């Protein structure tokens, strides 16, 4: 097993080194291609063709009205583009109409180059022509008015930008190679971290558990080596601990018979519930109820039936209460309910509803005998200004419950 693990890690190391080499080649080629493409766009043929189309549209009116000055003004607008050496407008075929030549360009040489192109056998006035030499890119655009050829526009662009681009590419490639060498050296020194990284993941999760007791953790890293076995085992262990912790918490906070909250839980959360009610300035009431003559039920029918009565009452309380209410088994046959956002009048309505529903319950004993029972209820409202704990209100509700018992049972009393 040990040799297998070592072999797997060794293969992974070789694979990573191979990937680094491939990435270096791809990065170099891609950088050169993208950079050259972006720079070339500014001086390629397609840009000049589009420019000639725009200029040609503006020059048609000048040619048709024989407005030489307007044509010159239009051509001179090209001087804002440093890549344009000049432009030449012919009327009909070879008659010079307007010309723009950049100041640093030899005008005679400029015109001779254009006329040499015009005089070649391959040149056709009636179609779009493009020419490329060592120094320039030239576009010839025929101009038509109502289907008649009335002139031609020549735009001449220099290759200064292309030459500049080539120099920049060489500079960038040099930097890229330097960076790649540096990265390769760094990767070589950092390779071991690839294999110690999973250990750091595990330790960080374990620290979170140790410091904050937060077992809601899960390592979501995905690997294709032996570390994945370690991750999966750790996740399984944490899940088991979390489930056991949840079960223990549930056992600690709930009554095993009724599955309602127990007295411990109610005492634990009552302080925060009271603080929330005070902060939000909302009402909070306490309802305490007790099964009437429960001892007689146990004595007459046995504890199993008594347990059925308690569980039946617990189910009824859950059905008749709201989700925001906290129902707890206070002890024996006593229950306490915290009624959130409820004043004494609302608590009285809820209590009467519970009392009537319980009064109508029927528990079957055997096949024929029926058992009915009632509850007495005491209620009180939290005094948000004076009560420092809910215990004070519970004590008042207990006194109201005692009064209900003493004055006839199966009734609701308010303290």
Q: What is the DSSP string of 180-198?
A: HHHHHHHHHHHHHHHHHHH
Q: Are 413 and 407 in contact (CB under 8 A)?
A: yes
Strands laid side by side in the 95-101 sheet: 95-101, 84-91, 148-158, 136-145, 129-132
- Where b means 16+ CB within 10 Å and e means fewer, 217-245 reads bebeeeeeeebeebbeebeeebeeeeeee
Burial of residue 210 (CB within 10 Å: 0-12, 13-18, 19+) is: exposed
With a CB cutoff of 8 Å and minimum separation 6, the contacts of 43 are 83, 137, 157, 159, 161, 162
Where in the chain are the domains?
Answer: 45-158, 208-249, 261-414
The pTM for the full model equals 0.47
Does domain 45-158 fall under CATH 3.30.450.20? My reply is yes
Provide the pLDDT for residue 112: 87
Which CATH superfamily includes the segment(s) 261-414?
Reverse transcriptase/Diguanylate cyclase domain (3.30.70.270)
- Residue 7: what pLDDT? 47
pLDDT (tens digit, 9 = 90+) per residue, 53-94? Answer: 988 888 998 988 899 999 999 999 988 888 899 998 999 877
Condensed to tens digits (0 to 9), the pLDDT of residues 365-389 reads 888 889 999 999 999 999 888 888 8
293-341 residue pLDDT tens: 999 999 999 999 999 999 999 999 999 988 889 999 999 999 999 999 9
Distance, in Å, from the CA atom of 141 to the CA atom of 53, rounded to the nearest integer, reads 7
Give the C-alpha separation, 315 to 313, whole Å. Answer: 5
Residue 194 confidence class, pLDDT cut points 50, 70, 90: low
User: Which secondary structure element, helix H or strand E, spans residue 289, and what is its range?
Assistant: strand 284-291
What is the pLDDT at residue 193? 61
Give 377's strand partners: 289, 412
């Amino acid at each position: 097993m040990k040799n297998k693990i070592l072999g797997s890690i060794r293969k992974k190391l070789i694979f990573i080194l191979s990937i680094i080499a491939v990435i270096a080649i791809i990065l170099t080629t891609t950088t050169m291609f993208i950079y050259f493409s972006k720079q070339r766009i500014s001086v390629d043929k397609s840009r000049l063709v589009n420019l000639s189309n725009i200029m040609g549209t503006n020059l048609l009116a000048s040619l048709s009205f024989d407005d030489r000055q307007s044509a010159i003004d239009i051509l001179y607008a090209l001087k804002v583009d440093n890549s344009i050496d000049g432009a030449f407008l012919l009327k009909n075929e070879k008659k010079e109409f307007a010309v723009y030549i950049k100041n640093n360009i030899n005008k005679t040489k400029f015109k001779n180059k254009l006329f040499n192109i015009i005089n070649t056998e391959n040149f056709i006035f009636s179609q779009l022509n493009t020419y490329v030499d060592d120094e320039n890119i030239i576009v010839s655009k025929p101009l038509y008015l109502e289907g008649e050829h009335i002139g031609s526009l020549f735009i001449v662009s220099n290759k200064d930008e292309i030459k500049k681009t080539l120099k920049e590419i060489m500079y960038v490639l040099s930097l890229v190679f330097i960076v790649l060498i540096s990265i390769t050296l760094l990767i070589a020194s950092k390779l071991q971290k690839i294999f110690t990284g999973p250990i750091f993941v595990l330790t960080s999760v374990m620290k979170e558990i140790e410091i904050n007791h937060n077992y809601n953790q899960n390592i979501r890293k995905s690997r294709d080596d032996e570390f994945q076995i370690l991750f999966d085992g750790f996740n399984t262990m944490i899940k088991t601990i979390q489930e056991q912790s949840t079960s223990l918490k549930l056992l600690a906070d709930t009554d095993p018979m009724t599955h309602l909250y127990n007295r411990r839980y109610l005492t634990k959360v009552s302080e925060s519930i009271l603080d929330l009610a005070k902060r939000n300035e909302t009402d909070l009431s306490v309802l305490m109820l007790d099964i009437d003559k429960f001892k007689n039920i146990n004595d007459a029918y046995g504890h199993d039936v008594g347990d059925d009565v308690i569980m039946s009452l617990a189910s009824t309380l859950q059905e008749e209460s709201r989700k925001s209410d906290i129902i707890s088994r206070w002890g024996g046959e006593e229950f306490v309910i915290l009624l959130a956002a409820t004043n004494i009048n609302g608590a009285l309505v809820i209590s009467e509803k519970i009392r009537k529903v319980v009064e109508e319950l029927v528990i079957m004993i055997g096949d024929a005998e029926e058992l009915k029972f009632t509850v007495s209820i005491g209620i009180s409202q939290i005094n948000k200004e004076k009560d420092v704990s809910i215990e004070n209100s519970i004590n008042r509700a207990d006194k109201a419950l005692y009064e209900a018992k003493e004055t006839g049972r199966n009734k609701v009393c308010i303290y």
